[in-house]
Amino acid sequence: MKNNQRNSRPSLFQRKYFIMLIVCIMIGFIIGISYNLTKDNKKLSSRSPIYLQQQETYREELITQQERNKELADELNHLQQTIRNYEKELTLNTEQHDDLVAEAERLRLLLGDIEGQGQGIRLTLADGGYNPNSTNPNDYIVHESHIFKVLTELKIAGAEAISINGQRLKTNSYISCNGPVITIDGKQSPAPFVIEAIGEPNTLIASLEIPGGAFDQLLNEQINVTFEKSSLISMPSNTAEK
């Protein structure tokens, strides 16, 4: 009798374990079904009209924002190009301003309104030696025509300022000859005549040495001509001379 009771206990425990196993399987099955239902509901909800409408709204907003970004980028490029144009125009205006200042300075030098200083040349025109075969002394003395030839070549060669015997010339200076002296703007000056010119020395000399030019004509007319380069020539302004 006791043995039968002992043998019934294991079967009772086995039955409980079996029931628990069945319960666990059922719970797992229910959980699985619930998960699948939830996932299907999500899929269905993602395809719902409200969801699709939201997606379409977001897409339209994104497209609108992208178009606005492009407009802003184009506007930025336009403004940057405008700034570059302003900078270029400012540079040109600055260059033009500098050119105008330089031109004004050059004109003031030519007018003799300001002091002239720089490298240049110094040349001397002297009466020729006495010629016993000539009865006319005017054949070998310096005349205003000789001086005009030199001045013309110097101006063409770019002389910035010119003086004769220390007297600064103006653009409208009047020169006349009166025997052995010349008169410059009402002031008499005797020979020899020292002409100083500020400018590039080699260019100034080359203009005078052109074959058939000023130097050749002066020598043919018995005028003594000497010249030298100078690293520094200073000329007072016409105002200072007054």
What pLDDT digit, counting tens, does each position of 142-180 carry? 888 899 999 999 999 999 999 999 999 987 888 888 877
Q: What is the pLDDT of residue 8?
A: 46
156 CB contacts (<8 Å, ≥6 apart)? 207
CB atoms closer than 10 angstroms to residue 81: 10
Q: Percentage of the chain surpassing pLDDT 90?
A: 29
Cα 124 vs. chain centroid, distance in angstroms? 44
Give the residue among 160, 209, 169, 159 at the shortest CA–CA distance from 189: 169
Name the pTM for this structure. 0.58
The strand pairing partners of 188, in sequence order, are 183
Whether residue 192 contacts residue 126, with contact meaning beta carbons closer than 8 Å, is answered with yes
- 3-state class (DSSP) for residue 131: coil
C-alpha R_g of the chain: 54
What is the rounded distance in angstroms from the CA atom of residue 104 to the CA atom of residue 191? 34
CB atoms closer than 10 angstroms to residue 147: 19
What pLDDT digit, counting tens, does each position of 51-103 carry? 667 777 777 877 877 787 788 778 778 877 887 888 888 888 887 878 877 77
Q: What is the pLDDT of residue 156?
A: 92
